[in-house]
Amino acid sequence: MGVKSDAAIEITAFDWVPDFARGFVRDLRPRWACEEMGVDYAERLISAVNRPADHFLDQPWGQVPVLRDGDVRLFESGAILLHLAEKDAALLPRDAQGRATVTSWLFAAYNSVEPLMFELSNIEIFAAGEEWARLRRPGLLEFLRTRLGKLAEALGDRPYLAGDFSVADIAMATVLREGIEAGVVAEHPRLETYLARCLDRPAFGRALASQLAAFSEEPSAA
């Protein structure tokens, strides 16, 4: 299992990104799902600097990932994760309540947590040193701490969000990773333990390694 050029599933990813983004580009999510499922996948590597025109036909904003599964094409990592999880009951339960719980947590990761993590990254990386970022940071951190505290309470003593590992944990763990450097996850020991449990899974290690291996040292022209 892993990257194979003739695999039926194809994941579009960038062939280069700056160092700070390596290991965090969102094609990591479908890679992880495929690794959990034991499913091979091909890579279509495109330039992040000069994105090919035909890529915008699959993804209106030129982002990654895009997934091709036979005649089916999808963009947005959440939609892709749900599509892949339909193939494996271990990632998406088949009973109504189990499915609803996993789906709810997947959307919670992307709608209730990731926007705050993204804003924090914007403040600390892209807007570092700007006055508005300095003023915004304390209020954002306070709100994020409250939100993560509620997440920790909801997780409780369960090892994973829905009890057993699921596609929702791929979503949430990749979102929480974005807050490690800022220290916001470490403030919640239950979440820190949960995240470590997710990232210790062999499938995550393989997915991360495959993403990192795809990056060139210098950006390509096309």
Q: Could you read off the pLDDT of 60-72 as tens digits, one per residue?
A: 999 999 999 999 9
Bridge partner list, 67:
11, 74
CATH of 96-201, one of 1.20.1050.10, 1.25.40.10, 3.60.21.10, 3.40.50.300: 1.20.1050.10
Which residues of the chain fall below pLDDT 50?
Answer: none
**Positions of E strands within the chain:** 9-14, 42-46, 66-69, 72-75
What pLDDT is attached to residue 125? 86
Determine the pLDDT at residue 195: 98
Domain boundaries, the chain: 9-90+203-212, 96-201
pLDDT at 204: 98
Q: What is the pLDDT of residue 221?
A: 67
- How high is the pLDDT of residue 129? 85
The domain made up of 9-90+203-212 is a member of CATH 3.40.30.10: yes
**Which residue type occupies 118?**
F
